[in-house]
Amino acid sequence: MNTVNTRIRTLGVNFSDKGLANVVLWAPEANRVEILLLSRNIKIPLISEEYGYWTLETDLIAPGELYEFILDNDKQLPDPASLSQPKGVHGPSQAIDIRNFSWTDTNWKNIPLKDYITYELHTGTFTPDGTFASLEEKLDYLVDLGVTAIEIMPVAQFSGERNWGYDGVFPYCVQNSYGGAKDLQHLVDVCHQKGLAVILDVVYNHIGPEGNHLEDFAPYFTDKYHTPWGNAINFDDAWCDGVRLFFIENALMWFRDFHIDGLRMDAVHAIKDFSPVHILQEIKEQLDFLEQQTGGCHYLIVELDLNDTRFINRVDKGGYGMSAQWIDEFHHSLRVSSGQEKSGYYSDFNGIKSLAKAYQDAYVYDGTYSDHRKKKFGIKATENPGQQFVVFSQNHDHVGNRMLGERTSELVSFDMQKLMAGAVLASPYLPMLFMGEEYSESGRFQYFVSHTDPELAEAVRKGRKKEFQAFHMSGEAPDPMSVEAFEGSKLHWDLIEKAPHKTMLAYYKKLIGIRKQQSALNVLNRKDVHVECLEDKEVIILQRQHKIQDVICLMNFSDKPQEIHVAVYAPVWQKLIASSDTLWDGSQDLPEKISGEITLVLPPQSFTLYTNQYE
């Protein structure tokens, strides 16, 4: 049972081509296991197999059946590999056949990773209805915006109907209030019809607190390591083989049965594994087998608070083989450059000096001393291409983990928002937008949950207050349990037709279009990047190059006009965009063309692009 089957899902309740139900449960410490079919009150014993697995093949279970497992004539529990929880985390599991969906994306080929322009969204707050079906209605808007991929925050079943998604307790089950498995499959199918790739956020570093029954079945956790969420998931202690298989099969299921194009893996630095083959590497190796069988192409993108290229280096180079990683350091540098406060972990970043290093070296800390961490931190990422790093000016964490959930639109000026957008989209990395930023959404995105356990709810409230003490924030944090925190976090779609939001949306469309059209911007060769940091003027001059094309990115983060000179000659420099132009509600139109070397007075808080040729 410990051999990974990449062709089909083996754990839980699955259906064969003949219509038989194949049941597999891992419960190595149980002496007796039965499956209870609730509609008929039928108990069927499972057969004990090696390594603690219990199996059954039967024609008594049909799709739609509600069931639970009974361990040792005592514990009656939902399936840890459940695909459907129609009555929530405390209710029974429902048997469904995820292989019978009628896909229409046969001709779909995943987009090359270098061409990903990602849009992160939360299903519950992206639309008023908060479902996959209503999300589909906004896909044409996203296509028109120019993004090439959507990244969906976690959808694993969590308690209640309001949650960021990082409290999921059924990793295989799609949240029922979003529409469940079939609606997610339909969403992916429609995305592919429209040319959009789909990234799904998954959480393999912890399991949520309410409705978590994994420990009742097997040693899914170990006290060898401590994480912010308690005992670590057991990837290298006694009985870890079954745990590893559980999560490997989960990753493969999303790719194979839901046609997901990439997984964004939450906080992999909190995955504790000293096995000879790290769990991430094993997921990568099993994904390689799946791709050989299907001819497909899929990506593994990690959130990583370690400047450690081992995670993204190829397996044959001693790495874990992840496709790409988020680099928060770019965000932190950009945030401080924009004039926002330097409290907490932002204290480590020196504005445009740090941002210039992020452009040049990806990691700001690559072996240098970090005062915040009180140690030397990171290694150099010289040989890793630009497509291995995801950058952003905001995301769910850096908005929602603020005490009040203020977006960048509330924290900086309209001009600075345009500059920050340009800084991300002109980078030699993979850009990511957070839902609503493209039209300067003014509403907040707060942290919200809907736990039904009063003690847990109070613990979450206290935990939030303690977290904000590190940032020396005064005032009262909003109640994450309140309906208002959730409802107030939904996007206000009526804004896109109003000033100045309509202008910002047009500006983002133009920027994204320029990135796609100009090879010097969309070819992510870090060797052809040159950065000049004018600290006294708070100006960064970023030069991107591909073959005979040069693009000069001029970023003035100061509140004053700044005169600059770029000693790169071209017969004619053609303006691609200037955020200060009156077209974008700016105060000053910059020249359409410049001959020879570039000498300009950059308006305050402005982003400007010139190129030596059109393509």
Q: State yes or no: is 303 an active-site residue.
A: yes
Integer Cα distance of 470 and 482 in angstroms? 24
Written as six digits, the tokens of 157 are: 């079943």
Read off the pLDDT band of 450 (50, 70, 90): very high
Residue 472 has pLDDT above 70, yes or no: no
Structure confidence at residue 452 (pLDDT): 86
The position carrying tokens 């990773």 is 113
The pLDDT of 6-14, averaged and rounded, is 95
Written as six digits, the tokens of 134 are: 């209503």
Residues 358-417: tens digit of each pLDDT:
999 999 999 999 999 999 999 999 999 999 999 999 999 999 889 999 999 999 999 999
Residues 479-516: tens digit of each pLDDT:
999 999 999 999 999 999 999 999 999 999 999 999 99
Q: List, in order of start, the domains of the chain with CATH numbers.
A: 12-100 (2.60.40.10), 115-207+243-504 (3.20.20.80), 527-611 (2.60.40.1180)
Q: State yes or no: is 266 an active-site residue.
A: yes
Q: Tell me the backbone φ, ψ of residue 409, rounded to 5 degrees.
A: -60, -25
Sign of the CA dihedral running 200, 201, 206, 211: negative
The CA angle 489-493-495, to the nearest 5 degrees, is: 105
The pLDDT of 19-35, averaged and rounded, is 97
**Segments in 36-154 forming alpha helices (H):** 123-126, 132-136, 139-145
Integer Cα distance of 614 and 396 in angstroms? 36
Cβ-Cβ contacts under 8 Å for 443 (sequence gap 6 or more): 407, 436, 488, 489, 490, 491, 492
Of 121-125, 456-460, 599-603, the least confident: 456-460
pTM above 0.95, yes or no: yes
Cβ-based burial of 43 (10 A; exposed 0-12, middle 13-18, buried ≥19): exposed
Q: What is the mean pLDDT of the chain?
A: 95
- Marked catalytic residue, from 65, 266, 329, 437: 266
Structure confidence at residue 575 (pLDDT): 98
Integer Cα distance of 322 and 319 in angstroms? 8
Residue 18 has pLDDT above 80, yes or no: yes
Q: Tell me the backbone φ, ψ of residue 87, rounded to 5 degrees.
A: -110, 20
The string of DSSP letters for 417-453 reads HHHHHHHHHTSSSEEEEETTGGGT--S--------S-
The pLDDT of 319-332, averaged and rounded, is 97
Structure confidence at residue 473 (pLDDT): 60
Give the strand pairing for 66-71 and 93-94: antiparallel
Structure confidence at residue 141 (pLDDT): 98
**Count of other CB atoms within 10 angstroms of residue 536:** 8
Q: Which of 421, 379, 597 is nearest to 512 (CA)?
A: 421
Integer Cα distance of 57 and 274 in angstroms? 36
Read off the pLDDT band of 353 (50, 70, 90): very high
Give the strand pairing for 53-58 and 539-546: unpaired
> What secondary structure letter does DSSP report for 547?
T
CA distances from 513 to 242, 248, 425, 507, 553 (A): 47, 37, 10, 10, 16
The pLDDT of 322-340, averaged and rounded, is 97
Q: Are 148 and 189 spatial neighbours (Cβ–Cβ below 8 Å)? A: no
Residues 151-182: tens digit of each pLDDT:
999 999 999 999 999 999 999 999 999 999 99
Residues 209-267: tens digit of each pLDDT:
999 999 999 999 999 998 888 899 999 999 999 999 999 999 999 999 999 999 999 99
Integer Cα distance of 93 and 588 in angstroms? 61
Sign of the CA dihedral running 145, 151, 156, 158: negative
Cβ-Cβ contacts under 8 Å for 11 (sequence gap 6 or more): 24, 25, 26, 81, 172, 245, 246, 249
Structure confidence at residue 453 (pLDDT): 85
The position carrying tokens 């920050």 is 420
The pLDDT of 44-62, averaged and rounded, is 97
The pLDDT of 595-613, averaged and rounded, is 96
Q: Which of 175, 195, 185 is nearest to 122 (CA)?
A: 175
Cα torsion for 249, 251, 254, 256, to the nearest 10°? -60
- Marked catalytic residue, from 303, 348, 397, 550: 303
Q: Which of 12, 44, 189 is nearest to 106 (CA)?
A: 189
Structure confidence at residue 478 (pLDDT): 86
Residue 455 has pLDDT above 90, yes or no: no
Residues 539-579: tens digit of each pLDDT:
999 999 999 999 999 999 999 999 999 999 999 999 999 99
The position carrying tokens 């899902």 is 9
Structure confidence at residue 468 (pLDDT): 67
Structure confidence at residue 469 (pLDDT): 65
Q: Tell me the backbone φ, ψ of residue 507, rounded to 5 degrees.
A: -65, -45
The pLDDT of 292-300, averaged and rounded, is 97
Structure confidence at residue 615 (pLDDT): 47
Structure confidence at residue 57 (pLDDT): 98
Q: Which of 393, 429, 391 is nearest to 303 (CA)?
A: 391
Written as six digits, the tokens of 206 are: 């912890």
Read off the pLDDT band of 462 (50, 70, 90): confident
